[in-house]
Each structure stands twice: as structure tokens, then as C-alpha cells.
A and B are shown apart, each in its own frame.
Chain A
Amino acid sequence: MDPGEEKRLSVIPISYYLVLSAILFGLGAVGVVFKRNIITILMSIELMLNAVNLAFVAFARAHGQIDGLVFVFFVIVVAAAEAAVGLAIVIMITQNRQSLNVERINLLKF
């Protein structure tokens, strides 16, 4: 990255990134809580993870440290694994129950 571009980027204050991150996280949280479709819930979780990733990257950039970037890689890897396993489970559930509604997946409930 050349110095000019770096300067231009640093013009955007960190709070902008954080506010965006908070909004995305909030949307994700609302989605997890209020949505009933299991696919939507998984997507909302992805949204929350990416909101956190955004915050990590913004902090890493602002403090000039690499730790945040490393965390982001971990989060992406875990998210990918989660998506793979989660979607496989969703497929199995759908085949068994013919429904994507979480309210109806209550076999283990007391």
C-alpha cells in the first residue's frame, strides 16, 4: 500500500467502522432472536461474525497491530466450518421434518 492511499484511508475515523459494525451486529442479533427460519438464523449468525470481523480489522488498522487480522482469519475459518456443519444439519433436519421452522424442532425439549 502506497503512502497516499494510507493517508486517504486514515481520514475515515475509527468510530465509523465501529458504528457500522454495531449496526450489523445488532441486525444479526435481531435476526437470530426474531426469525424462525433456521437458514435465516444461520445467516444472521454469519452477519454477527462479520460485524465482529469488521471491528477487529478496524482496530488492527487503527493501532497498527497484526493481532486483530490474525483473529479475523480464525473467525473466517471457524465460520466456514460452522456453515458447512450447520448446513449439513439443516439438510438432515429438513429431510426428517419437512420444515425449516425452529419452533417445531423441539424433540429434546422437556
Chain B
Amino acid sequence: MPILDHLWIIMALPLLGAAVNGLLGKNWSKSVINSIAIGSVSLSFLAVLELIREFAQLPADQIPWVRDYFTWMTAGTFHIAFSLQVDQLTIVMLLVVTFVSTLVHIYSTGYMAHEGGYYRFFCYLNLFVFFMLTLVLASNLIVMFVGWEGVGLCSYLLIGFWFLKQSAISAGKKAFITTRLGDTAFTIGILLAFWTFSSLNFGDMFKSIVQMPSDTMAHAGVLTIIAILLFIGAIGKSAQIPLYVWLPDAMEGPTPVSALIHAATMVTAGVYMVARMNPLFSRAPIAMLVVAIVGAATAFYAATIGLVQTDIKKVLAYSTVSQLGYMFLGCGVGAYAAGIFHLMTHAFFKGLLFLAAGSVIHAMGGEQDMRHMGGLRKQIPITYWTMLIGTIAIAGIPGFSGFFSKDEILDAAGSGPHKNTVLWLLGLIGAGLTSFYMFRLVFLTFFGEERFDHHKVHVHESPKSMTIPLILLAILSLGGGWVAAPHLMGGTDHFEAFLHPVFAAYAPQEAGVEQGVSLAGSAGAAGEISGNPTMELVHAITGPPVIVAVLGLLLAWWFYIRKPELPEKLAKSLHAPYVLLYNKYYVDEIYNALFVAPLLFISKYILWHVIDEGIIDGVVNGTASAARGAGGKLRQLQSGNVRSYASWVVLGAVGFAVLLLALLRVSH
């Protein structure tokens, strides 16, 4: 079993690609850089496929499959090995990450073809894949943290890729600093976890968690604190309220980066972490509630902002924030599998939407404002059709991947073991809003009259290197959800069944029973209503999530195709709410006034002018001037008069002798 014993190969390949391109690629031709970058990532993808083949033959008692490669650090009882592990959750994540990465790499060769710093871009992109795979394969929190921080670094580097643009640099810094806030809590959470469980290996930690008394709603103990601290890290990384502000700004980076890092993979790391730590979260009901509330609130809140944005990428960015909220909502109500399922389908359709948006921007020669687009569907048909599929998928129209996953989350929120009607309602309204703003995007971009200058903009379909990834992702957006399809007819949800061992192994006793029920007999519960598969199917595809999605679609159609003058009128008559939404609730301005401005003030007037200039510079300059003054005085001894030197020598000798005698006297 070669790959199972050498898991490191999967992550080493992209690292090798990054090193070769980054160190040597400066003067290489684009085709050489392309083949190294795409080759390393696609080899990694093939390695994952081989891994899956081998993994399928593993007996169940050997899962999770853990491999220690070397001892990283040891201090007393603190022992950290560089260890990797594979279980069903890892497999899903590995597949998503390597597959989407490969497609984005291929796409980038077309999209970035005219950009400077080509080798640098692919070096960062490969490095990102390496860190993401580290995060996913990690078998303890420290190795995971390395990946966690590494992807943050790559995100920073790639947001600020066009480093001559002030806004890109600011956005990069904002992303890095904002996520750092969450990471501070994450680090404390790791320390507290070590203090509590005396180990950071997932397996050991979960074993000690099982032996600890669970926290309850009434009694919040150390488990709750650890879970919430770790979740704060996830809030930063996965752009949830209140730390979501960096993600919309991160759209300053090249579009493939937005697709890979800020939609499909890195931002979902928080969801993955919560799912990975499910034994902990499942025993901390308050933390679970926090996760669910933050998720549902973000899902709704970000969707409202998305309604009125005019930048095509900004709409998608807020949509990403909103969809991440759904994933957390799923995890928060105990439906980890549904959360991960949405993570996977979201990686497909949101990756697709971003890449398609990139293709639109490419076709429009850099234009990102939807008000200056329109009527593009004839000119760029492949982009149009793939983007339409992505939109239908995210809106949750039955048959497309987003429908299956979002439906499962809302189902768990509305009728699962941890159901919460308010959160379900928030999620439901959010789903309607999602459908509206996504179809608004499509209608504004591809339908209606052409609102751009034909002399300036030469609309053209993107090259094959860009359209082929679009088509592949469109196929997955269309079909990626069907693994769960039999569920609708009362059968098994294959995705949930596949992940079941991960979430059932350490599930709390009572929840385990419930999960079993929901898995085996969820259809049974629904079956009581209808009794036969056909009725169930009808029930599922006419449920509230579908109704709001169709409503959103119709509303968008009414607003932007039937009566295009209506939105403007509505914006006038509802001026205050419109302006509030258009300015994103002024959150950036509020944060600026509350945190950034005082920090700058303290930095400038206290830390800089007082501490740095006054004290630190004062000490350095003071030492220098003291030395100079002393030197000036001592210089006068050097008179050049030999006899005065001789006197000093004699005086010194006498003084030394006296001192020696005095010391001898004392010692006797």
C-alpha cells in the first residue's frame, strides 16, 4: 500500500512545484512554468485517487489511518509528531481540494497569461495547495495549525499579488490582520486543549473527551470554552460575523485566487475544523448553539448585502460569506455531514461561479461593474451556460447540487435533533435572498441591453484553458449532489453514510442514537407523512426551500428583465434601507472608527512619538552621546608627553599593588 504509507507525497508534490517555480522559474517560459505548476497539482490529485483506491480496501478498524513521520518537538510531556491521518472526512476534503486546485491552475494559465510575475503567481498557488493539504491531512492540532496559518499567508500573498495597487496591499493586510484576531483565540484554544487533554492528537483528544462528563446547556465547562475559542478561529478564517469584513476586500486578488482560496477551499477550513472536532462540539451544547447562531445570522446578513452590490465579484464574495454561514448552521445543529456536503457542493458551484465571473471580466477587458455589462449571453455562450448552471445550483433549484446540500442543512435546522425554528427561518429567508441576488447577477450580466461602449470593449469568449475547467465544474455543480439523491425517495444518503463513521465514532450516547435514527429512519419519519417514495419526492421538491428559491428567481426576473426600471424606483422609495445595504451596513466605517482609528492614534502618538522616539531612541542616542562626552574628556589624557604617560604607568602600578595588598589583607 504505497500511498497510504507515504501520505506526505500528496502534499510534497505541490511544495516541490512551488519551490522549483519560485526559486528557478523567474526567466523560464510560461509553458515550462505551466507544466511544473499544473503537473505537481494534478499528480497530487492522481495520488489522492490512488489513495482512495487503497483506502477502500482498509478494514474499518484501521480507520482513521494515522502515520507518524517524525518527532517535531518534545518538551516534557509535550510531544508533537509530524503525523498525518486519513479517514472519510479527509478523503472528501482531499478530493475537493486537489480537484478544484487542478482546475483553477489550468484556468489560471489562460487568465494570467498577460500578467507579470507569472512564476510568482504559480509558486504562491502551489504553496497554497501544499498548506491546504497539510491542514486537511493533519492528525494533530499543531500540524493543522501550520496548514491553517500557511493558507493564511498564501491568501495574503495572493490578495496582494498586484502589489503596485494600493487597494490590493491594503486588502491583503486587512485579510491577514483580521484572521489573526481569530487565530489568537484559536491558539489559546489549542493551549487549553493541551492543558485539558494532555495531548493534541485527534485520536487521543477524542478518547479523553469521551471519558469526560459532557457540558450541558446549564453547565458550561472547559469543553465549551475550548470549543468556542476554536470556533473564534474559524470565524476569522471562514469570514463569519463579526470578522467577515476581510473577504469582500479580498476580491482585489486575481479571480482564480478568489475562486480557489476565497470560495472553494481556504475559507471552508473553519467548517472542516469544526467538523473534525465534532466530538468536542457535540459535548458543548452552548458552543453548538453559538456556531448555529453565528452561521444562520451570517447566512442571512451577508445575503442582504449581496442584494444591492454592483461589483460582480463583490456579490459572489458576500454570497460566499452567506454560504459559509449555511455550513456552520449545519454543523451547529449537529448535521456535520450536511455541512461538509454543502462545503463540497459549494466548492464546485462557487468555484465555477468565480471562474465564470473571471471569464466575464476577461471578456469585458477588466470591467467588474455589472451596471456596465448586459446582453452578454450571445457573445460568450460557454461562460453564460456554465454560470447559469452554477447560479441554479447555488439558488437551490431541485436537481442541482446546491439543492441537495442546502436542503439537508435546512432540514436539520428545522426538524433535526437540535432543531431551532428561528435559525431555520433565517436560513430559509437567506435562501430566498440568495436565489434573488444570484439571478439578479445573471440577468444584469447576460440579459437585457448592452450597457457598454462597443468601441472600447471587444467582447470575446475565453480560451479553452479557461472554458474547460468551467465545463468540468458545471458538470459537477449539476451532478455533484446526486450521491444524496436516494435520500429524497426515502433511501440512503450515500454521502452521509460515507461520512457516518467519522461523526458517529465519538458521538455522545444520546446524540448517537438520534443520529442513527436520522440516518436509517429519517425517511421513516417522513414516511409517516406520505408513506410512499413518490409522495416523498414530491414533498421534498416542493418544500419551503424550493419555494423561496423559485420566488427569488421570479422576483429577480420581474425586477431585471420584465421591468428593468423598477429597481431604481424601489431604491428611491426605500432610500434609507437601500443606502444602508449599499454601504454594507457601514460596518467597515464602524470598525474603522472603533478599532482602526484608536489603534492608529495610540500607535502614532504614544507608541511612536513617545515610546519609540522618546524612550527607545533616547536610550540609544543617550548612550552614544555619553560615550562621545566621555571620549572628549579622556582624550585630554593623550597629551603626547611621554613622561606623563610614564607617570600614569607608575601610578597605575602603584594603585594596582595597593589594591593587591589590600585584597591580601582582607583574605587573611
Contacts and interface: CB of A to CB of B under 8 A. Distances in A.
Interface of A: 29, 32-34, 102, 109-110
Interface in B461-517: none
Given A102-B643, A109-B640, 7 more contacts: A29-B650, A32-B643, A33-B646, A33-B650, A34-B643, A102-B642, A110-B640
A29 B646 CA distance: 9
Contacts of A32: 643, 646
6 contacts: A33-B643, A33-B646, A33-B647, A102-B642, A102-B643, A110-B640
Interface of B: 640, 642-643, 646-647, 650
A29 B647 CA distance: 8
Contacts of B643: 32-34, 102
Residue among A29, A32, A33, A102 with max Cβ neighbours from chain B (10 Å): A33
Contacts of B647: 33
A16 B367 CA distance: 106
A102 B641 CA distance: 10
Nearest to A106: B640
Closest 5 CB pairs of A and B: A29-B650, A33-B647, A33-B646, A33-B643, A32-B646
A33 B647 CA distance: 6
Contacts of B642: 102
A34 B650 CA distance: 12
A40 to B, nearest CB: 12
B383 to A, nearest CB: 84
Contacts of B646: 29, 32-33
B537 to A, nearest CB: 106
Contacts of A110: 640
A110 B640 CA distance: 8
A78 B43 CA distance: 84
A109 to B, nearest CB: 6
Nearest to A22: B657
A105 B273 CA distance: 88
A110 B641 CA distance: 11
A102 B643 CA distance: 10
A63 B643 CA distance: 37
A63 to B, nearest CB: 17
Nearest to B640: A109
A33 B646 CA distance: 6
Contacts of A34: 643
B566 to A, nearest CB: 96
A7 B650 CA distance: 37
A102 B642 CA distance: 9
Nearest to B642: A102
A90 to B, nearest CB: 16
A27 B319 CA distance: 99
A29 B645 CA distance: 12
Nearest to B643: A33
A25 to B, nearest CB: 10
B650 to A, nearest CB: 5
Contacts of A33: 643, 646-647, 650
Residue among B640, B643, B646, B647 with max Cβ neighbours from chain A (10 Å): B643
A32 B646 CA distance: 8
A75 to B, nearest CB: 18
A19 B647 CA distance: 21
Contacts of B650: 29, 33
Contacts of A109: 640
B647 to A, nearest CB: 5
A4 B643 CA distance: 48
Nearest to B657: A22
Contacts of A102: 642-643
A102 B640 CA distance: 13
Nearest to A105: B642
A85 B592 CA distance: 86
A81 B39 CA distance: 85
A45 B640 CA distance: 21
Contacts of B640: 109-110
B640 to A, nearest CB: 6
A100 to B, nearest CB: 15
Nearest to A32: B646
A34 B644 CA distance: 9
B654 to A, nearest CB: 9
A74 B658 CA distance: 28
A34 B642 CA distance: 11
A31 B650 CA distance: 12
A92 to B, nearest CB: 19
A88 to B, nearest CB: 20
Nearest to A109: B640
A109 B646 CA distance: 16
B365 to A, nearest CB: 75
B635 to A, nearest CB: 14
A109 B639 CA distance: 11
B656 to A, nearest CB: 14
B652 to A, nearest CB: 12
Residue among A29, A34, A102, A109 with max Cβ neighbours from chain B (10 Å): A29
A29 B653 CA distance: 11
A32 B653 CA distance: 15
A54 to B, nearest CB: 17
A32 B650 CA distance: 10
A110 B639 CA distance: 11
B636 to A, nearest CB: 16
A50 B642 CA distance: 23
Contacts of A29: 646, 650
Nearest to B647: A33
A109 B641 CA distance: 9
A109 B647 CA distance: 19
B303 to A, nearest CB: 85
